[in-house]
Amino acid sequence: MRVRFHIVGIGGMGMSAIARLLLARGDVVSGSDKGIWPLGAALAADGVAVATAFDAGNLAGADVVIRSSAYGDTNPEVAAARAKRIPVWKREDAWRHLARGKRVVAVAGTHGKSTTTALTWTALRAGGLDPSLMCGAILRDLRTNAYAGGGDILVIEA
């Protein structure tokens, strides 16, 4: 069953990676952010409906709203979703959803997370695996920050 996700803050690094993986799974994805962000524009070029302002009308048909930590309950879309009893997820809820059935390699820390995440993903691919990726930086070879692999491993920058 295809789920319709609306992502509040879709232009950010973390939310755009979530959007990419949901889209690759066959879910319907829309989103919004303040203005135009390069990652949001790239998602729009791939068919995602991306609004450049927050409005309750952007939620049309959404089954789940995922909100960036940059936007709280006072965001018009988050408030409207709660009023309509549409589930509102935080980033970690989306991660949990995307990680179901996967072995997860989570890279955490203070410095070097993006580099270590990218290197881990690259090493796994060099070893013949096809892991999925959610990174806090754009990988030069991918030209994006996320990859939907065919394997059962998810490398994530936590």
Strands 144-147 and 132-139: antiparallel
pLDDT of residue 94: 98
Q: Which two tokens stand for residue 158?
A: 């936590």
Which CATH superfamily includes the segment(s) 4-91? Answer: NAD(P)-binding Rossmann-like Domain (3.40.50.720)
Report the candidate in 119, 130, 126, 123 with the shortest Cα–Cα distance to residue 154.
130
Give yes or no for residue 20 having a pLDDT over 90.
yes
Q: What is the widest separation between alpha-carbon atoms in the chain?
A: 48
**Is the pLDDT assigned to residue 36 strictly greater than 90?**
no
Residue 31 above 90 pLDDT?
yes
Domain edges within the chain:
4-91, 101-157
pLDDT of residue 35: 86
Q: Sign of the CA dihedral 26, 63, 44, 117?
A: negative
- Residue 5, pLDDT score: 99
Question: Whole-model pTM?
Answer: 0.95
